[in-house]
Structure formats: structure tokens, C-alpha cells
Structure 1
Amino acid sequence: MAPDALLVEVAWEVCNQVGGIYTVIRSKVPATVQGWDDRYCLLGPYFPHQAQGEFEPFDEHQLSTLNDPFAGAVRKMRSYGYDVQLGVWLVTGRPRVVLINPFQVYDRLNNIKSDLWHNHGIPTPEGDDLLHQVEAFGHLAKIFIQTLTGEVVPPQRVVAHFHEWMTGVAIPELRRDQVPAHLVFTTHATLLGRYLAMNDPNFYDHLMQVSWLPEAQHFNIETAVRIERAAAHGSHVFTTVSELTVRECIYLLDRIPDAVLPNGLNIERFVALHEFQNLHQQYKSKIHEFVMAHFFQTYSFDLDNTLYMFTSGRYEYHNKGFDLTLEALARLNYRIQQNNVDGQVVMFFITKRPFSSINPGVLQNRAVLDEVRETCEAIERQVGERLFYAAAASSEHRLPDLSSMVDDYWKLRYRRTLQSWKTHILPPVITHNLYDDQNDDILNFLRRANMVNNQHDRVKIVYHPDFVSPSSPLFGMEYGQFVRGCHLGIFPSYYEPWGYTPLECVARGVPAITSDLSGFGDYVMQTVPEHEDKGIFVVQRQEKSFDEAAEELTNMLWDFVLQNRRERITQRNKVESSADLFDWKNLRVHYDRAYALALERI
């Protein structure tokens, strides 16, 4: 790190939780603040509704008394009439943040769009408000960086690090005006790559033959792709997040990245020390409640001999490996039945799909189970009091007839509650009513495979097309708590530039499966010796057929099912102890090297 440099990190997701980059930026903040201290500032768009819960603006008095280049640049922009906020992001590290309202220059949009076209060959269609916001913010970000470079006193210098195409508009403009800032650009996933991978099952084989412009026009993303290319070529240092995305950058953006910046987590946030096994038990019992409500009205099974597995993330059936996961689960279901192995697997698919409501039957089952619990607790209290009295008063040592200690009212209520709940209808595989369930890939696979939660199925399915949250009447817990309660996370992605979901499992002491086509999986294979022993499993998908990958994943799941409780506890201990490998404190060095390279290049 250069002690005479300032760092501005520019991202659409600063105080604005819209996607995975939010996790990258937010989790990296404590380690970056530790290295850069008050020479570090974040820059993002100001959306008041999004920012209100995590942004604390400085008042006029605070702003006027701050004596640093960031505050000076904000004061100067305000003197020009711009709506610019300076404050603190209310996350660990409490970094300085500048937020700029993109809508304030909408009256100049035509000029901004015209300049982008004439100066950089970037066309902008009418009526695309996201592009308008991106271009307006890019224009304002350029003005802020330009103003900031005017506030610094040599030998002090400015490094500006832009994340993703949505902030990239500023880069070609800064270069054109020869603003003396050292520019770093990171693409976390090429925009065109994501679209191609979703639509081409042999994306990696065809990558070298892709002609970027016709494909961008085909997917109606030409403007965004041109912005991304301009940012990649205009930056002094161009970076991406994994060796996998290096290939994409070469063939789709026509520039070889200067550095790879692997993503980490702020592991301290997840550390539970000796408590993490207790937390697993605590949250597993909450999942038990859901499972009893969902399945036990039709048939029951031994919860102590049940494994909870899950996958989660954006609904990209092929890219996220949902197709491979389902195929492996179908094979696992057959294999467990054929080998007559004890126990059950309940598999949760947690993703986001358009739905009209929670299935009323699922909600009612949960409500009736709560009533069963209340009835049982009332009977327990009544019997407890009467048993204690009988024990004290009795001259005999035999246990009295406990049934005689329950009032007829509670006996009747107990019987009626159970009668109203029990049914022969199969437990649904999905918890919500989708708008278009006839065309849902997950549901269609389950129908074809007849994996519809029959009693003889040893792999049961719960498809929850909404993210888990404490406000959910079905789970009533945070996503992180749900993860801790599970036994295994399954994420065998086909296209995943990095992949936070398996990393978040590891940080919580939960074994996880990833793939060698995810940046995280690739990084694990290169840097973590004996990773399977540490509970991180990597499915080989490069140069493997779908069938071969499905068989490998099935074998991994089969081995996991055959483990005994002691082996699973030992494995969770090893997973949790390996989490430090992915802490930003250790991975920040890659970023600092990129900044040092940028400072050399002007």
C-alpha cells in the first residue's frame, strides 16, 4: 500500500442491496479500512429508500469541520449545486461513504447520451431507465473523481476502483479528460458470459467462437456490453475474480486481465467458537418444526435420522446447477431404496420465483401443528402438577395412570386437533403457488421423475420459491440460521464467476459441494490441500458430460448419507476451522497488489 494514496471504491451496491456484489463490497470493508484507514472512501448512487437503514449522513456542521480531500470534494460539488451526501456506512469498519443522486442530472441525459455515442461509440436506447440511471451516475462519478483529484496535494494520488459495468461509464470519460486518477476496473462476471451460459449448454466449448457484438444485440444488451468493454479497455488495471472468468474476459472483452482478485468474507462475523455445534442443534430443531408440519400430517419418519440438504441462489436452472442437483438426488433416492439404508434426506431448494401466495394448505398445516404443540404443553402442565401432588401424597412407589390426570376437555381437544390435521394427501413439493408452475423447470423435473414426496421416497423435496427470512411464517428464521441448521449445502454450478453460497456454508461450519466451474471451487482446488477432508467437495464439470458429473455428485451425496453422526460432527469441526483461509484479512493482499500496479501505470 502506498501511504501517499487515497482509495475510492465505486460500486452500484454501496448502501444498496441489489445483488451479490453487495456481499463482496460490504464484507471487504473491515479489512480495507484496517489497511487504508481514513484514506478510504466508497462511492455509490443515492437511493434514499434503500440507503435509509444503513447510511448515516453527516450534518452541515460535521461536513464543514472535516479536513480531508473527500469532504473537500463533496463541499466543492455542493457549491456547484450538486446533491451529494457524505456520511458513514453502518457496517463493521464504519467506512466513509459518498452517495450521489443520479436523478439530479436527468435534465442533461440527452447530452450525456450524445457524448457517450460521439466520444465512445456507446448507443443508448430510449425508455431503459436502468441504463439512464447508470449513465447519469457515471457522469456524476466522473465529476466527483475529477473534483477529488483537484483536492489532493502531491505527492498524494487517487486510486479509483470501479466494480462491474454499472459504474463503468465514468472510466472512458475520465481517460478522455486526462483526469490524473489511477483507474482499476473489476468485472465479477462478464454480462454477455452470463447470458450465453444460460442459453448454451456448451458455453465453454463455444467461447472461442463467440462474436460479441451480434450476440449482445441478440440478447438486447449491446449498450451495457459496450460500457463494460469501454471500462475494461480504459482502466489502467483490469481485474476479474477467478481464473475461470479470465477466459471470458479474453474472448468476450478482448483484454487479458492484469490480476485475479478472489473474494472472501469477514469471517469474524460468523465465528461462533465452541458454540457453533450448539447453534446447529438449535436451528436444526426449528427446521424439524417445519418438517413435522409439512410431512407428518400424511406420514412420519425419524427426525434424528434425517439429513437436511439445501441449495440456494438466483433462479438460473442450468447456470446454478439445479438441473445437475435434481438428477443426482433422483439417483440418490433410488440408491438409498435399493440398498435399504436407514434414514431420510430432506432437500430444500431456496430461490426466488414469481408467486401469488403461500400454499394455503402449507400455512394451515403449520398453524395446526402450533395448535397441537399448545395442546400438548397444556396437558403437560396439568399432568405435571397432578403427578407431583400424587407422588408427594402417595404411599406407593408405582407410577400412577397418567391418562386419568388429564381432563376430558384436553383429551377431546387433543383428539379433534389430530383428526383435523391428519390426511392421506401427499405433502406438496412446493410451498407457494407459482404464477407459471406448468413451465417451472424444477417442478417439471420432479413430475417426470415422480419425486413427489411419496412415503417410500427416501429423498423428500421442499421447493421454497422465496428467500428465507424471520418474517416468513414457514421458517421464521434468518437465512444464516437456516444454513447453520442444515447438514450440507449443494452448489454444483455450471456458470459461477465466484460463488458465495458455498463459502457462506464453510464460514458457518457446514460442509458444502461446489464445482470446478465456479470461481470458489477453482480457487479451493488450487489453494486448499485435502479440501475434501475439510468438508469442501468439488464436482468436476470441466470437460465432463452431464451424466459423468451427475454420477460424481451422486457418489458424494451417497458417501455423505453413509456417514455416522460422529463423522459428521468431526467434519463440521474441520469445515469451521478452515474458514480462516477465506478471510478478507488474508485475501485483501490481491487488491493491494492491483492498486500498487495501477499507481505504477500513469
Structure 2
Amino acid sequence: MKNEQLKPDYIFETSWEVCNKVGGIYTVLSSRAKTLMSVYQDKLVFIGPDLKQPTANVDFCEDEGLLPTWKKAAADLGLKCRIGRWNVPGKPVAVLVDFAPFFEIKDEIYAEAWDLFRVDSLHAYGDYDEASMFSYAAGRFVEAVVSLCLTPADKVVYQAHEWMSGLGMLFLKKHMPRVATIFTTHATSIGRSICGNDKQLYAYFEGYNGDQMAQELHMVAKHSIEKQSAWHADCFTTVSRFTDRECKQLLDKPVDVVLPNGFENDFVPQGAQFTKVRKQARRCILDVASALTGSALPDDTLIVSTSGRNDYRCKGFDVFLESMAELRAQLNDIPGKQQVLALIEVPCWLEGPRADLQEALLKGKLGQAAPLPNPIITHDLHNLDEDRIVATIRHLGIENRPEDKVKVILVPCYLEGNDGIFNMPYYHLLAANDLALYPSYYEPWGYTPLESCAFHTPCVTTDLSGFGQWVDEVLGHEGTLNDGVHVIHRDDSNYFEVAHQMCETVKQLLGTPVRKRTATRNKAAALADKAQWKHFIKYYYEAYHFALSRVELSTNEN
């Protein structure tokens, strides 16, 4: 029995992105919920921030009759919350905590955090206060439930995601040591900051000291709470071996368990439905591009794209544009009619859909009129002349002239089916692609290439992404286009080489017969199938066991 894996009776997971679609952590939690729900049902509980605004928490469905004793227990400790369901596959229990009242006592909370854990909040700025008060409220909620509603025999796991959930986890561990805590960093605050400040992360990696860099980059508060959370949690985890190395260097602590990110394929259309979605999405994309550029793009236009959070350097948008500029120069000098359409689907400071483009689409005279002004972007921006992606497109001389065989278009909005131009969700547009390009410089995991593969779209990524490293491990060699995922080596000094390799990969696909393209698409989908949550959930069970074992050992010692 000693070797039997310990299992929790209740799992609480807290993140700023519960019922709050901000970035990749939302996808991690929401896509995994169904797999865990099949085992734990309503003993799996997600805790997120109650953001109040009408446009926030739109996928939260309150149920006032759900877990009333829990709500009362929280109220007895002075905490307001709403309890309901998260409208994602599995529809797990979700609790939104009202953290606003704690702002009045934040200085006392920070002082106690320093005294107890040496968390330095003195130089906090930006979103630190908001995240920390939410985290504190989430921890208090679980403290109330465990102390007043659960039995002493119940085994409880509390998993906190990112520094934004760390403070509450620390206080919960102090006041309720019987709760097994897991702290998960999806990317260290210092690693991301080094890259975001255009410093070379990899060339000098072994020389970086996390505490020193936190001072230099004005990241002391976030780094402090992240580091102390990593050290105090019963189980410290991250999403890839790549980030484990980063944690060891910058947080002075290796992780206990690596939790790779998976996905559920339920939302991927199958068979004839997929073919229908792909055909409709391609028609939509080509119509928009034709109306914008004044060029009638043929049905066999090769559609490529990149997407993700607006993190210009880390996501490799600079390299993507460089490669498209090189491809345009090469194809323009070669006889032939093959066209390439490159989309950059990245949320920017959006003003709204372009009225002139809407009018052109409404009239339906696509590719028969003159190009619209500024035919490189589908929506209006508040800061068009300051946007970094727009500036790079202009700097590279990309103008989408009728004679250009490569046209590049920025789609600067969240694609949720109501953007005013495409009016299709992101995943439908993803299905339209022939190739997706993600030349990441800093990517602890990489959901976008995994999602691309799931939608039968081969892709390019780099060996600086956790997903790229995982692909190489699964294949037993460096992934190529013929494998469905081309994994390009990237470091601090081969920027133009990466751009050139991507250009050559697109050219390779242009010269690939349709039958072989189909085989490549199927290989991409087969790789994605290996990354479903049903294969990766075992790592979470390992983390639960690790954390519960630490609590059990500590209890026995006392």
C-alpha cells in the first residue's frame, strides 16, 4: 500500500484566467477540465476573479443553488463570492471571488507576507496589487471551505497558477498546512522580462542571477512572490523541461514535476464537417484579402499564418515578417502564378472594423476595384502609426501591390466570430491554413502550434519552444515538414537563418503535390493526437501524489 498513488478528494485550482480569457493559461485550464471532471465531478473547483465589468466573466454561469454551505462559510469569514459553472467542456464548478474589499488592508497583508515568507512587495506596480488581492481572496475562500465544510479526513489539493496566484497559496499553506499545495509557473517573470527587454537569454543563460535581474528590470515584487511560492509549495511544477531549466537558474529551484500542456480534440470538426469548415473559411479569407488588396486571389492561394499573444519578439513576429519579405522577393522574380497569403492574427489596440473594407465586402466586387488605402490591415487601430508590427511591415516595404505574389495582412483583433470583418472564430480560420509559422524566441510550451496540428495544419516552430522540444523527443529526430511539424533550431544569433529556413519551408510546400500535402496534414494531426489530455493527465496525478505525500510526511513527523 505504501507505493499506491495518493489521490485528492477535492481539487481547487486558482488562476487569474479562470472564466477570464486572457492568454494560454485559460486554454490549459479550460481544455483540461473535462478530463478531470470525468474522475472528480464537482469536487474539482476552479477559482477566478470576479471582475464586475459587463464584458468580463462572460463564460461564467451563476447558480445560486450550488454549494450554498460553501458560500455561507466564505461569508462568515467576510468574503463575497459567486458560485456557478464555467461554460467550457465538462462545465466544472467555478467560484468568482470579490477581492476589492481587501485593497483597504493590502499594506497589512504585504507586511505580513514579508514577515512570514520574505515576499518583497515594497516596489510593486502595475497589476501586482490587483492580482495579489485576488490571490489572497482565493486562498481565504479555500480556507473557509476546508475548515468549515470538509472533514479532517478529506485530502485537499490547491493548485495555484503563476505568480498572480502565489500570495494566497502562501497564506493558505501557513494557516491550513493540511492542504497540499502545488505552484505552477508557466513562464518565469524574469525569463519573459529578459526576452521582452531585448536581452539575450540563451547566450548568457548560465550567468544570469534571478534576484539581480529582478533589480535591474524592476521586477522585484513579482519575482519575489514567484520565487517564494516555488520554494514554499509542497510541489513545484512547470510546463516543459525547457522551463524547468529556467526555474533552476532564475528561481534557484528545479521543479518537482513537469506538467506538459495537452488539449481536448472534441472541438475539432471531423470528416465532411471539417472539409466544409475549411472550405468556408478559405473562401472568407480570400474574399477579405481580395477586397482589401484589389487583387483577385485564386482558390489555390497558399494561406499561411502566425498568431498568438502580442509579444513581438518572444513570439517571433519579427522573424515571420522577415521571412515573408524574403519570400516575396524570391517569388516576384520567378515566373508563375502561385500566390501566397500570409496572415498575422495578433490582438492589437483595436478601434474597430474598417468601414471601407466592410463596404467592399458588402458590394461583393472582390478583386475588381482599386486597393483600399493601407491594404495591410483589416481593422482600424488607435495607434496605427506606433504599432510595432505595422511599422515592421512598412519598413520591409510590404505594400501588397497587385503584382506581389506574397501578400501580408495584419488581423489585429480577437477572432471570436464577431469582429465585423471575418465573423468567424479563430479555430475555423485556422482550419483554412495550409501552413502555420511560429518562430518563437521564448515559448515555454506553445499552444498555437499544437492547435495548428490538431486542425490538420502542418506548422513550423523552434527548438526554443516546449512543444518543439516535445515533437523532437516523440519523433526521435528534428522535426521536418514531412513529419507535420518542422522544428527549426533557434538561438540568440541566427535570426536571419531562421527567417530563411521558414522561407524555404513555404517554398517546399508550394512545390509539394496535393496528395503529399494531405499526407503531411495527417501527420500533423497524428502528432497532436499524442498530446491529448488523456495522455498527459498522468503527470497531474503524479503532482497530486507528490504534494499529498509531502503533507503526509510532514503530518507524521509532527
- TM-score norm. by structure 1 comes to 0.84
2:377 aligns to what SS in structure 1?
coil
Are 1:489 and 1:511, in contact at CA under 8 Å, matched by a contact in 2?
yes
Q: Which residue number corresponds to residue 488 of structure 1?
A: 435
1:47 aligns with 2:51: yes
1:519 aligns with 2:524: no
User: Which of the numbers 454, 465, 470 marks the counterpart of 1:507?
Assistant: 454
Per-residue Cα deviation, 1:254-283 (whole angstroms, up to 9, x for no partner): 111111111011111214234323321121
CA change 1:344–1:148 in 2 (3 A) is same
Are 1:355 and 1:432, in contact at CA under 8 Å, matched by a contact in 2?
yes
Q: Which residue number corresponds to residue 351 of structure 1?
A: 346
1:102 aligns with 2:106: no
Q: Which residue number corresponds to residue 61 of structure 2?
A: 56
Aligned-pair distance for 1:20? 1.6
Q: Percent identity?
A: 29
Are 2:351 and 2:380, in contact at CA under 8 Å, matched by a contact in 1?
yes
Aligned-pair distance for 1:315? 2.0
Are 1:426 and 1:453, in contact at CA under 8 Å, matched by a contact in 2?
no
Task: Give the whole-Å Cα distance in 2 for the aligned partners of 1:357 and 1:16.
Answer: 21
CA change 1:56–1:314 in 2 (3 A) is closer
Are 2:416 and 2:425, in contact at CA under 8 Å, matched by a contact in 1?
yes
Task: Give the whole-Å Cα distance in 1 for the aligned partners of 2:393 and 2:45.
Answer: 49
Aligned-pair distance for 1:475? 1.4
Q: Which residue number corresponds to residue 15 of structure 1?
A: 19
Are 1:17 and 1:50, in contact at CA under 8 Å, matched by a contact in 2?
no
Q: Which residue number corresponds to residue 517 of structure 2?
A: 568
Give the counterpart letter for 1:571 in structure 2.
T
Q: Which residue number corresponds to residue 368 of structure 1?
A: 363
1:38 aligns with 2:34: no
Per-residue Cα deviation, 1:52-73 (whole angstroms, up to 9, x for no partner): 532233325x535xxxxxx5x4
Aligned-pair distance for 1:111? 1.7
CA change 1:74–1:271 in 2 (3 A) is same
Aligned-pair distance for 1:286? 1.4
Are 1:112 and 1:135, in contact at CA under 8 Å, matched by a contact in 2?
no
Task: Give the whole-Å Cα distance in 1 for the aligned partners of 2:282 and 2:465.
Answer: 28
User: Which of the numbers 67, 78, 84 marks the counterpart of 1:81?
Assistant: 78
Are 2:438 and 2:460, in contact at CA under 8 Å, matched by a contact in 1?
yes
Q: Which residue number corresponds to residue 545 of structure 1?
A: 494
Aligned-pair distance for 1:544? 6.0
78-87 vs 340-349, which moves further: 78-87
Task: Give the whole-Å Cα distance in 1 for the aligned partners of 2:455 and 2:281.
Answer: 12
Task: Give the whole-Å Cα distance in 2 for the aligned partners of 1:54 and 1:435.
Answer: 27
Give the counterpart letter for 1:77 in structure 2.
A
452-461 vs 437-446, which moves further: 437-446
Give runs of aligned pairs for residues 134-153 of structure 1, distance below 5 A: 134-150=131-147, 151-153=149-151
Give runs of aligned pairs for residues 113-192 of structure 1, distance below 5 A: 113-124=110-121, 128=125, 130-150=127-147, 151-177=149-175, 179-192=177-190
1:326 aligns with 2:321: yes
Aligned-pair distance for 1:521? 1.0
Task: Give the whole-Å Cα distance in 2 for the aligned partners of 1:292 and 1:75.
Answer: 58
Give the counterpart letter for 2:116 in structure 1.
N
1:313 aligns with 2:305: no
Task: Give the whole-Å Cα distance in 2 for the aligned partners of 1:270 and 1:578.
Answer: 14
Give runs of aligned pairs for residues 407-418 of structure 1, distance below 5 A: none
Are 1:162 and 1:168, in contact at CA under 8 Å, matched by a contact in 2?
yes
Per-residue Cα deviation, 1:265-321 (whole angstroms, up to 9, x for no partner): 11112142343233211211111221221233xx435x1231111111122221111
Task: Give the whole-Å Cα distance in 2 for the aligned partners of 1:141 and 1:356.
Answer: 34
Per-residue Cα deviation, 1:391-421 (whole angstroms, up to 9, x for no partner): xxxxxxxxxxxxxxxxxxxxxxxxxxx9xx7
Structure 1 or 2, whichever has the larger Rg, is 1
Are 2:346 and 2:411, in contact at CA under 8 Å, matched by a contact in 1?
yes
Q: Which residue number corresponds to residue 543 of structure 2?
A: 594
Are 1:149 and 1:179, in contact at CA under 8 Å, matched by a contact in 2?
no
1:276 aligns with 2:293: no
1:220 aligns to what SS in structure 2?
coil
Superposed structure 1 runs of 4+ greater than 6 Å apart: 424-427
Q: Which residue number corresponds to residue 555 of structure 2?
A: none
Cα RMSD after superposing both structures: 2.6
38-47 vs 14-23, which moves further: 38-47
Task: Give the whole-Å Cα distance in 2 for the aligned partners of 1:215 and 1:52.
Answer: 35
CA change 1:183–1:243 in 2 (3 A) is same
Task: Give the whole-Å Cα distance in 2 for the aligned partners of 1:534 and 1:471.
Answer: 35
Task: Give the whole-Å Cα distance in 1 for the aligned partners of 2:271 and 2:372.
Answer: 44
Give the counterpart letter for 2:525 in structure 1.
E
Give the counterpart letter for 1:18 in structure 2.
V
Aligned-pair distance for 1:201? 4.8
Q: Which residue number corresponds to residue 554 of structure 2?
A: none
CA change 1:310–1:337 in 2 (3 A) is same
Task: Give the whole-Å Cα distance in 1 for the aligned partners of 2:124 and 2:235.
Answer: 33
44-53 vs 162-171, which moves further: 44-53
Task: Give the whole-Å Cα distance in 1 for the aligned partners of 2:529 and 2:85.
Answer: 27
How many residues align? The count is 543
1:446 aligns with 2:393: yes
Give runs of aligned pairs for residues 180-329 of structure 1, distance below 5 A: 180-296=178-294, 299-301=295-297, 303-329=298-324
Task: Give the whole-Å Cα distance in 1 for the aligned partners of 2:341 and 2:426.
Answer: 17
- Structure 1: gaps spanning 5 or more residues: 65-70, 374-417
Task: Give the whole-Å Cα distance in 2 for the aligned partners of 1:74 and 1:422.
Answer: 61
Task: Give the whole-Å Cα distance in 1 for the aligned partners of 2:63 and 2:418.
Answer: 32
1:205 aligns to what SS in structure 2?
coil
